[in-house]
A and B are shown apart, each in its own frame.
Chain A
């Protein structure tokens, strides 16, 4: 979840409290896995996710990012489950040893629909929620600031350290290091560069620790936040109702089975 994937349109979906969106994602996840029928996932996608994407003006990015993730998964799923589902009896199509059964396709549909739902819901969260806002909201909701810092700094520092690795490589190339095109040989050539990079990272971590303490990171004072995280009574209620619906989706079928 990097800042680059966030699409800031300022829509009502963007303005929701990030924790509300996170709770919605987790509730959807539980519901579609507790109720494995494909139509449950379809209802969530068509009835919740796509309208939310339209309101958030993120329909295009959602299809593009979600499609890139989902296409290979769905193709493999349909091929593997459609062709090799062990309990398949109703033949839809056969060619030599290859056979597609309606039971296999139904199984692939049930599993695929859940994955589509899960991926689209996650991508929508990423597209409509700035990671900084999510961390601030989670901290305000009681998450440890240190845990929040680990997540935020990892997201930001990995690209920064990648730039440093590029700079080390450039410096070595300027001093005559030839970087071969063959990936295996390239890895071999670049191994010695890891030393300066890793040692530099250790120094950075130590210095950053000092700088963080200089800015009161270890303070026991009650923390405040520069930006107010939007919230409302309706959202607070929703954050209780959604998990309850998810729990009901797990419990009701079990009780139904017992009765």
Chain B
């Protein structure tokens, strides 16, 4: 379990707290989404959860960050990274520059941690297969597109098999199919007991895959709940959180008086179908019907 208690943080020499009194509890073997506007402190929270604050970035951190019963501030960074894997926002910078092929890049972290050679080869093959990058293994990481680099960056952390995975906007450069695939892989990882904390902006995928969402706004956790509760909350605009297309359409319909004001807003397609009373009988006419 991950537990943050009364965590506040200010970057070095800034004097301004970017997070204040953050309390967070994340159950093991779950996918937790953290949403919030740009500049709300998501990247900062990701670094706190992975131990890089205060070990690398320094600054003023108060409160406690406990993962698996151990306070990260009392652990050396090497011990933190063996517990928590961090996928940073920019895949270009996740690539080490120390290896000349994607295969070598994926193995880089395992080499640093002393993983046996056979085990490394097996993990590289497995993760490359999961993320469908097997055909890229012998190419240079710097010859890849942004989306391909992002998959390599994710794969480079998945091979480390850390019990906790913190991902800061891991699908920002992926196309819709790639994004769905990554979330599918995360769901499979959850099934193996990995705890995943994902900082994302894509509400439909969070609704489909996350167990719980936390909203970061006003330097603290402004709301927590199931994805359905959070994404249909009337305060999403105020928090700077995107609602799904179904919720937006339902809000518009409600504003125009087309649906009852008290009906709960839908988040997914299935809920929207029920909300708008769609069914096979009420579907719009197709060209075949017109003929």
Residues of A within 8 A of B (CB): 3, 130-132, 135, 145, 148-149, 152-153, 156-157, 159-160, 204, 207-228
Contact = CB atoms under 8 A, between A and B. Distances in A.
A205 to B, nearest CB: 9
B161 to A, nearest CB: 12
Given A132-B104, A216-B113, A224-B116, A3 B140 contact: yes
Nearest to A228: B117
Nearest to A216: B112
B45 to A, nearest CB: 14
A152 B99 contact: yes
A129 to B, nearest CB: 12
Interface residues of B, number: 44
Nearest to A227: B104
Contact of B114 (A152, A214, A222): A222
B56 A224 contact: no
Contacts of B99: 132, 152
Contacts of A156: 97, 100, 140, 142
B124 interface: yes
B117 A226 contact: yes
Contacts of B103: 226
B239 interface: no
Contacts of B142: 156, 159-160
Interface string B235-275: 00000000000000000000000000000000000000000
Interface in B88-135: 88, 90, 92-101, 103-104, 107-117, 120-121, 124
Contacts of A222: 114
B97 A216 contact: no
Contact of B98 (A153, A214, A216): A153
B111 to A, nearest CB: 5
Contacts, number: 117
A148 to B, nearest CB: 7
A207 B88 CA distance: 8
Given A156-B140, A219-B112, 6 more contacts: A132-B99, A159-B142, A215-B160, A224-B120, A225-B117, A226-B107
Contact of A211 (B96, B114, B116, B120): B96
A223 B114 contact: yes
23 contacts: A130-B100, A131-B100, A132-B101, A145-B112, A149-B96, A149-B98, A152-B98, A153-B98, A156-B140, A157-B97, A160-B92, A160-B142, A204-B92, A211-B96, A213-B52, A214-B86, A214-B88, A215-B81, A218-B78, A223-B112, A224-B117, A225-B111, A226-B104
B96 to A, nearest CB: 6
Nearest to B84: A214
B85 interface: yes
Nearest to B162: A214
Contacts of A227: 104
A222 B153 CA distance: 24
Q: Which 8 A-B pairs have the closest CB atoms?
A: A215-B109, A153-B97, A216-B112, A221-B114, A226-B107, A132-B100, A207-B93, A216-B113
Contact of A215 (B114, B121, B140, B156): B156
Contacts of A221: 112-114
Contacts of A215: 81, 96, 108-109, 112, 156-157, 160
A129 B197 CA distance: 42
A214 B104 contact: no
A213 B115 contact: no
Q: Give the residue among B108, B110, B112, B113 with the most A Cβ atoms within 10 A.
A: B112
A215 B120 CA distance: 14
Given A131-B100, A204-B92, A224 B81 contact: no
B26 interface: no
Contacts of A148: 98
A226 B111 contact: yes
A132 B105 CA distance: 11
A6 to B, nearest CB: 9
Contacts of A211: 86, 88, 93-96, 153
A226 B156 CA distance: 14
Contacts of A226: 103-104, 107, 110-111, 117, 120-121, 124
A60 B278 CA distance: 72
B251 to A, nearest CB: 37
A149 B111 CA distance: 13
Contacts of B201: none
A227 B99 CA distance: 12
B5 interface: no
B78 A219 contact: yes
